[in-house]
Structure 1
């Protein structure tokens, strides 16, 4: 039987050591690059953007970009895995929070709209540029998306069952996908007051799901 590896004292210290200023600065710059990449790719598409363009937007020279990302595809992979994980984790937190099924459904819609309103560029890139990812990253994103959709389907089925509506899982899934198609097109809408947009999108999402919720948990209550 092989001996169990015990971490050396210096390894444990390295693991527990707080991040240095240099590490924090590098992480902050990496986040800036991801944000700049999302904006540019949303405007011009993955193929229309170069690493050098992204670096220039935040004051990073072309060669220095490769200290952060080895390729434009690596950057895209990280960007879309991150937003997919954020949607999955946030949706799960909302679904597990408690409350009535109708309240949960409206809260899920509100959560998704919050992401749309605050990071429309990421939603645009996610909708359009999945085929440009590496196969492994693409698989990871699609897995997270499927799990996110299924949380919505679970909630929708309870809401419709309580309303006395017969709905099977396949149709519920189609309704959820149709609703996402509607909501995810909102970054391309004309400029509109944010509060008004949230109310309008919530009402449209409920209509796409073909759900009626009590007035006290409806679109105008957030």
Structure 2
């Protein structure tokens, strides 16, 4: 009996992850208001109403996408800082981590940019708080690189580099003769490092 429950739980978790992934893809392509629960259900092979077994509403699904990715970013940044002690090594590891995120989750970045305001206030505030905490991890590392700079100036650097990294996967995707992912990754890491250490 326990095995059946475990398999059922695993299947439910897998279906939920598929719904989140396809919703992010569709929201990125068409915007939150341009996608229905029926569209999302069809993308994962279920009916629109069946989505309600996993999410109370389309807004709850959007919240899952944006809150979960914000939690993952903060946790990933914290893990980087635990693994590295030297400021330069920490910065390199943070850059690699964020570039990997941007290349892996480009759809989620687009959803965040366009549809954050569609969240209820409580969820939107939670996303913003998590993102501020993620930025502060970068500021703490940058303080070790630029001890004479103000925290406000270090935040400007961090946000500028997020803009650089987060926008590139979208622009590269549309180029006919786009470089391979390895080249894009190396270029982003090099540019981010240069911007943050100059």
Same fold (TM over 0.5): yes
Name the structure 2 match of 1:129: 115
Give the whole-Å Cα distance in 1 for the aligned partners of 2:190 and 2:6. Answer: 47
Q: Which has the larger radius of gyration?
A: 1
Give the whole-Å Cα distance in 2 for the aligned partners of 1:64 and 1:22. Answer: 16
Deviations 1:64-112 (A, max 9, x none): 1221222110000011111000000000110121232111101100000
- In structure 2, stretches of 5+ residues that fail to align are 173-177
Deviations 1:95-134 (A, max 9, x none): 1212321111011000001111112111221222110111
Give the whole-Å Cα distance in 1 for the aligned partners of 2:194 and 2:114. Answer: 25
Name the structure 2 match of 1:184: 166
| Regions of 4+ moved over 3 Å | none
Total equivalences in the alignment: 191
| Further displaced range: 54-63 or 199-208 | 199-208
Q: Of 184, 188, 193, which aligns to 1:201?
A: 188
Name the structure 2 match of 1:8: none
Q: Secondary structure at the match of 1:66?
A: helix
Within 5 Å, give how 1:98-109 maps onto structure 2: 98-109=84-95
Within 5 Å, give how 1:65-214 maps onto structure 2: 65-161=51-147, 166-190=148-172, 191-209=178-196, 211=197
Deviations 1:151-184 (A, max 9, x none): 00010011123xxxx3111101111111111111
When the two chains are superposed, the root-mean-square deviation of aligned CA atoms in Å is 1.4
Name the structure 2 match of 1:57: 43
| Further displaced range: 146-155 or 97-106 | 97-106
- 1:206 Cα offset (Å): 2.1
Name the structure 1 match of 2:18: 32
More helix by share: 2
| Further displaced range: 62-71 or 37-46 | 62-71
Give the TM-score normalised by the residue count of structure 2: 0.91
Give the whole-Å Cα distance in 2 for the aligned partners of 1:127 and 1:110. Answer: 21
Give the whole-Å Cα distance in 2 for the aligned partners of 1:175 and 1:93. Answer: 21
Q: Secondary structure at the match of 1:192?
A: coil
Give the TM-score normalised by the residue count of structure 1: 0.82
Contact 1:32 1:58 in 2 (8 A): yes
